[in-house]
Amino acid sequence: MFKRRDFLKTGMLATGGLYLGVHFSCNKKSVVQLTPGNLHHFNAYLSIDTNGMVQISNPVPEIGQGVKTALPMLVAEELEVDWEKISVVQADAGAQFGGNDQRAAGSNSVRLYWHPMRMAGATARELMIMAAAQQWGIPKDKCYAYEGFIHNQDDQRSLGYGTLVEKAALLEVPEKVELKTSDFKLIGKSAGNPDIKKILNGSVLFGQDVRIPNMRYASMEKNEVYGAMVKTFDASDALAVAGVEKVFKVTFHGEIERPFCREGIAVVG
């Protein structure tokens, strides 16, 4: 169970909608290309539009480790939403993610975002339940979420997230939110890469495809011996190569704890 103040640490509510922090992928079916019909932001991770489409922002770089699938699954698990109504976008770096590390390193992504992203989905789900209960004039414990709809236990009426999103956006974030403890429907299951079509047709954007004004390229050679330091180096030959602008020593600061923490020489051009 998470409290309201803990949720707010993961992202502030935005005017006109719920703004929840999450990034998502889909299963083996095609990923939806979201065309928002009045998109409401639930927090840094999650947006839902009036058509019931869900957009999840992935806070960690996808470099082949599968976080663009794994992290959105955490949101979807708690949100109780249909995979076919999910769109995934890559988030920019920002403080809106509550200070969580946005690096892709050390196999930490799922561990770091296990609670924030599940909480984002669970909070949105709870707000949808509250909105439906108000509309029907019944206690919220008479409602449950399933595949993007809130259902009435007494008469099996249902309301879609798209229908409820504007009302839910006006509600106060609940003090406490229940997270699942078992009976996961998505977590632990296989799901496809949301970028698979773009990868196959060559349109996906990789880091090496990025170009910015006055961009330079750098190559770093590290000492091959663990813990070894650079004593001296001669940059004259490298600087004689056309296009090379600078050669300098890269010094590691702090205790050397891992093999990749080694000094080296960087060439920039």
2 close to 179: Cβ distance less than 8 angstroms: yes
pLDDT of 225 above 70 = yes
Same domain, 185 and 233: no
Same domain, 60 and 144: yes
Same domain, 240 and 141: no
pLDDT of 68 above 80 = yes
Specify the CATH number for the domain of residue 193. 3.30.365.10
Average pLDDT on 135-144 reads 96
pLDDT of 249 above 70 = yes
**Structure-token pair, residue 124:** 């949105």
User: Quick check: is 204 in a domain?
Assistant: no
212 close to 224: Cβ distance less than 8 angstroms: no
How do residues 12-60 score in pLDDT, each as one tens digit?
333 333 444 333 332 333 233 334 456 677 777 888 988 888 998 888 8
pTM over 0.75: no
User: Quick check: is 205 in a domain?
Assistant: no
Same domain, 90 and 128: yes
Instruction: Please state the φ and ψ torsions of residue 73, each to the nearest 5 degrees.
Output: -60, -35
Same domain, 10 and 77: yes
Residue 257's pLDDT is 60
Same domain, 127 and 75: yes
What is the extent of the structural domain holding 236? Answer: 211-268
| Count of structural domains within the chain | 2
pLDDT of 172 above 80 = yes
Same domain, 60 and 167: yes
pLDDT of 268 above 50 = yes
pLDDT of 143 above 90 = yes
Q: Which among 199, 231, 249 is the end of a domain?
A: 199
Which range (132-136, 146-150, 218-222, 264-268) has the least confidence?
218-222
Same domain, 99 and 132: yes
User: Quick check: is 206 in a domain?
Assistant: no
Same domain, 34 and 110: yes
Which range (47-56, 211-220, 248-257) has the least confidence?
248-257
Same domain, 17 and 55: yes
Which range (40-44, 62-66, 150-154, 185-189) has the least confidence?
40-44
Same domain, 170 and 217: no
Same domain, 175 and 260: no
User: Quick check: is 152 in a domain?
Assistant: yes
Q: Which among 177, 199, 221 is the end of a domain?
A: 199
> In which band, very low, low, confident or very high, does the pLDDT at 61 lie, cut at 50, 70 and 90?
confident
